[in-house]
Chains A and B, each alone.
Chain A
Amino acid sequence: DVKVTQSSRYLVKRTGEKVFLECVQDMDHENMFWYRQDPGLGLRLIYFSYDVKMKEKGDIPEGYSVSREKKERFSLILESASTNQTSMYLCASSLLGVQENTEAFFGQGTRLTVV
């Protein structure tokens, strides 16, 4: 069974803390994505990566960075957490775009609260 696993389901952090959200996939997928989801705004793409050590900015990268040291792991980093980063964070993975069907598989999400 294919799996995308996010390290935490719920997380509470303080303003100014450095926060790491971890995502691991076991499907040998090249692509990995980080989204955030907020009420009324849908899913918004933060960053994505198509290979180890490669990354591309999504639509809302400000305040975030990412790390992809191994193919199966994609980390989202909040350098200095702020309350407006309180959100549901979703990780996804998929095959590279040369495939016709690049179905993305999503993790269960991490609900981050910054206080």
Chain B
Amino acid sequence: DAKTTQPTSMDCAEGRAANLPCNHSTISGNEYVYWYRQIHSQGPQYIIHGLKNNETNEMASLIITEDRKSSTLILPHATLRDTAVYYCIVRTRSGGSNYKLTFGKGTLLTVNP
């Protein structure tokens, strides 16, 4: 299974962009990169996903390198409520048309006032 590597923790000033890196050097050509976040005492929440192209939605942007070995999640204007653990996940095949999501330890992003 493709594994991901993320920094354990990061800090960001409120109002600034938060750039969260992720390495997934063993990713296969048809495996998607997903990002989730988990705010304290809640279940993880989906943020964004991508395959090859950069993606943007109302929450964040996802930049995937051309070789697909790494990606960066960008929160353009971080707020205090964005303080959470952010997980970068590679969606891997589990047989047939099915898949599984294997979470790592994630990055604790702390947004400071």
A58 near B100 (CB under 8 angstroms)? yes
A74 interface residue per 8 A CB criterion? no
Range of interface residues on B (Cβ < 8 Å):
20 to 34
Q: Mark A95-106, 1 if CB is under 8 A from B, else 0.
A: 011101111111
A43 near B42 (CB under 8 angstroms)? no
Q: Mark B60-101, 1 if CB is under 8 A from A, else 0.
A: 000000000000000000000000000100010111111111
Q: Contacting B46 at CB < 8 Å: which of A31, A59, A100, A104? A: A104
A92 interface residue per 8 A CB criterion? yes
> Which stretch in A14-22, A33-41, A75-83 binds the other chain?
A33-41
B43 near A92 (CB under 8 angstroms)? yes
Q: Which residues of B contact A56 (CB under 8 A)?
A: 94-95, 98, 100
A45 near B102 (CB under 8 angstroms)? yes
A108 (CB) vs chain B CBs: closest residue: B43
A94 (CB) vs chain B CBs: closest residue: B101
Q: Which residues of A contact B105 (CB under 8 A)?
A: 40-42
B100 near A101 (CB under 8 angstroms)? no
A43 near B100 (CB under 8 angstroms)? no
Q: Which residues of B contact A41 (CB under 8 A)?
A: 105
CB of A68, distance to nearest CB on chain B (Å): 14
A90 near B97 (CB under 8 angstroms)? no
A50 near B103 (CB under 8 angstroms)? no
In the bound complex, what is the Cα–Cα distance between A35 and B102 (angstroms)? 10
Selected A-B contacts with CB under 8 Å, 8 pairs: A33-B101, A43-B87, A45-B100, A48-B94, A48-B100, A97-B91, A106-B44, A108-B42
In the bound complex, what is the Cα–Cα distance between A35 and B87 (angstroms)? 14
Q: Which residues of A contact B95 (CB under 8 A)?
A: 56
A13 interface residue per 8 A CB criterion? no
B98 near A44 (CB under 8 angstroms)? no
User: Contacts A40-B105, A41-B105; is A103 near B49 (CB within 8 Å)?
Assistant: yes
B46 (CB) vs chain A CBs: closest residue: A103
CB of B34, distance to nearest CB on chain A (Å): 8
CB of A107, distance to nearest CB on chain B (Å): 6
